[in-house]
Amino acid sequence: MQNPFPIPLNALRAIEIVARRGALAPAAEELGVTIGAVSQHLRRAEERLGMELFERTPSGLKPLPLLKAALPQLTAGFIELADGLASLKGSDESVLNLTVGSVFASRWLIWRITKFSQTHPDIELRLNVTSNMVDLSRPDVDCGIRFGHGRWPGVSAELVGGTAYQPVCAPPVAERLSGLGDLARVPVIQDQTTQLSWDAWRNAVGLDPKIKLTGPTYSDASLAFDAAISEQGVLMAADMMSADAVSDGRLVRPFNQTVEGPQGYWLVVAKGRRESRKLRALRSWLATEVPASVNGYLNQGAAHGR
């Protein structure tokens, strides 16, 4: 009988990681070998298959068309293997590893973790807070929350919320805003990381496009939010993220004119990953908690914790 695996499983894993990440180092780290060993894995695999798998470029290794076409199946296959092994040894359903961005973590989730724990006392929520696009196929990551259009390769995405957005500011700043035109005379905080469009909002509300909006610039979204609270100017923010601060009076929505954007917060999971009980618990909790938070309902513990 012909061997269905003409190359070792470790070599196949190296091929999958390098094709997905475009470099040898991530594969070396995950496999616990040297970069030289990963390079040998690739070279010997190509020799056994009788074909080249990668284009060697100055910017890294790029999968050739045949490998690129097969990559989703390889990735899904390794995810299923990892899930199968977890089932065999007894998956830890008591720990949910979630990767999130800093704004979602600091402005929304951190105030509600206690509520999640009260609803699901048997599940410990562990956060990986980072601005990087974490590889969701890693065995130490169950799922993530990402902001964007919801279209990421190798990922299943379900919209959580956060598509509505509008300007917010501290109450003293709002006192200087009697109309849209007053935005020309107050600082407008520039968040370099945001995907929320001032231009789309201006067009929707009829703000004169000739009015120039200027103010302090931040390269960190969480700091830009703090700048708005500390009366430095007006910030464009998703209603979901500003709801708590508006509810307790630290921020106001001076124009109360919301725009629905194409981006939002998505619950993301690597394609091929099994639907675990802990993931179902998080999805169900988000479906209940997000609408409540958008309407400005703070859980009592969070409200008294500030």
For residues 193-200, average pLDDT: 92
Q: Would strands 95-100 and 124-129 be described as parallel, antiparallel, or unpaired?
A: parallel
Question: What is the structure's pLDDT at 285?
Answer: 96
Question: What is the structure's pLDDT at 88?
Answer: 55
Using one digit for the tens of pLDDT, what is the confidence trace for 245-301? 999 999 999 999 999 999 999 999 988 787 888 999 999 999 999 998 877 544 433
Is 164-260 assigned to CATH 3.90.1150.10?
A: no
- Hey, where are the domains in the chain? 9-89, 95-162+263-305, 164-260
Question: What is the structure's pLDDT at 2?
Answer: 58
For residues 147-167, average pLDDT: 93
- CATH level 2 (architecture), domain 9-89: Orthogonal Bundle (1.10)
Tell me if domain 95-162+263-305 and domain 164-260 are identical in fold: yes
- Weakest mean pLDDT among 42-51, 87-96, 217-226: 87-96
CATH placement of domain 95-162+263-305: 3.40.190.10
For residues 49-57, average pLDDT: 89
Phi-psi region of 303 (alpha: psi -120 to 50; beta: other; left: phi over 0): alpha
* Per-residue pLDDT band at 6 (split at 50, 70, 90): confident
Using one digit for the tens of pLDDT, what is the confidence trace for 70-94? 888 888 777 777 766 665 554 567 8
